[in-house]
């Protein structure tokens, strides 16, 4: 059974810093790995999807990497802004449903 | 940009009653999902649906739950005889064809069982 863990659980950094969020998974037989953002009381916004055959994906200031052999993914956020404050969720995709981590609660201080 | 819409945003129901949560997936998507998130816990997969049938379900999705696509646009989750522990945020998601397609989530329905 797939287990997904995210470290750290919470992170607070000054605006402008570059930061890395970590995700680890136990079953390397994933189809893809997806990063989401969740704002309080809201749904999940898809940020990036990395297919199992890929190593990384980029979208604007976000870069996500995937290392299946070590069971790890990272989300790199460049030049952080207060609007980046949210909970970031990592999810491993099987044939159908996603298995989620608990998330990293990120606060960017103005 | 197309989005997944869910109604109602908040549902309050007495324990033992039946509830139906409604979702309108993105129009050209063929894969549909329900997830739930109990307050303070992880988002958990419930069920996936493709070609008018369930393709996968978790151990949470027992006989109390059912899903249906009653027409060409709606996708519903029915919970029979609700229990206090069914209180959670329920998310619907959909995706297009291909493993490179992300799942897109709705804003959820907050279900409160009294």
Q: Across residues A29-37, what is the average pLDDT?
A: 91
Tell me if A44 and B100 make a contact (CB, 8 A cut-off).
no
Tell me if B48 and A97 make a contact (CB, 8 A cut-off).
yes
- The label of the residue with tokens 């200031």 reads A61
Question: How far apart (Å, rounded) are the C-alpha atoms in residues B37 and B73?
Answer: 24
Question: How far apart (Å, rounded) are the C-alpha atoms in residues B33 and B4?
Answer: 11
Please give, rounded to a whole number of angstroms, the shortest distance from the CA of B15 to a CA of chain A.
23
pLDDT value, residue B21: 97
Q: What is the pLDDT of residues A1-20, one digit of tens each?
A: 889 999 999 999 999 999 99
pLDDT value, residue B13: 96
Question: How far apart (Å, rounded) are the C-alpha atoms in residues A36 and A47?
Answer: 5
Is B55 an interface residue toward A (CB < 8 Å)? yes
**pLDDT grade, residue A95 (50/70/90)?**
low
Radius of gyration of chain A (CA): 13
* Token reading at A83: 């609007």
Residue A29, pLDDT above cutoff 90: no
Please give, rounded to a whole number of angstroms, the shortest distance from the CA of A102 to a CA of chain B.
5
Question: Per the omega criterion (within 30 degrees of 0), is the bond before B11 cis?
Answer: no
* Token reading at B81: 């005889």
**pLDDT grade, residue B16 (50/70/90)?**
very high
Q: What is the pLDDT of residues A43-77, one digit of tens each?
A: 899 999 999 889 999 999 999 999 999 999 999 99
Question: How far apart (Å, rounded) are the C-alpha atoms in residues B64 and A22?
Answer: 36
Q: Choosing among B2, B4, B23, B42, which should be mutated to test the A contact, i.e. which has the most A CBs within 10 A?
A: B42
Mean pLDDT (chain B) is 94
Mean pLDDT (chain A) is 93
Residue of B nearest to A41 (CA): B107
Tell me the pairing of strands A104-109 and A10-14.
parallel
Higher pLDDT, B39 or B1: B39
Count the helices and strands in chain A (H runs, E runs). 0, 11
Could you count the other beta carbons within 10 Å of the beta carbon of residue B37? 20
Question: How far apart (Å, rounded) are the C-alpha atoms in residues A12 and A85?
Answer: 9
Q: What is the pLDDT of residues B69-97, one digit of tens each?
A: 988 789 999 999 999 999 999 999 999 98
């Amino acid at each position: 059974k797939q287990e997904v863990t995210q470290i750290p659980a919470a992170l607070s950094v000054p605006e402008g810093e570059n930061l890395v969020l970590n995700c680890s998974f136990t079953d390397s037989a994933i189809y893809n790995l997806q990063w989401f953002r969740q704002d309080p009381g809201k749904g999940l916004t898809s940020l990036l999807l990395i297919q199992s055959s890929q190593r990384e994906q980029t979208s604007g200031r976000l870069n996500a990497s995937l290392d299946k052999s070590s069971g790890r993914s990272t989300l790199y956020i460049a030049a952080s802004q207060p609007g980046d404050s949210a909970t970031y969720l990592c999810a491993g995709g099987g044939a159908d449903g996603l298995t989620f981590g608990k998330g990293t609660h990120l606060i960017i201080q103005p | 940009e197309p989005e997944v819409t869910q109604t109602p945003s908040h549902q309050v129901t007495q324990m033992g009653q039946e509830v139906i949560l409604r979702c309108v997936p993105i129009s050209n998507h063929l894969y549909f999902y329900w997830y739930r998130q109990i307050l303070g816990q992880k988002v958990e997969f419930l069920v996936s649906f493709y070609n008018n049938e369930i393709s996968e379900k978790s151990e949470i999705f027992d006989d109390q739950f059912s899903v249906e696509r009653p027409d060409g646009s709606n996708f519903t989750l029915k919970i029979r005889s609700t229990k206090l522990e069914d209180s959670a945020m329920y998310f619907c998601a959909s995706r297009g064809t291909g493993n490179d397609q992300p799942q897109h989530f709705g804003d959820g329905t907050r279900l409160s069982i009294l």
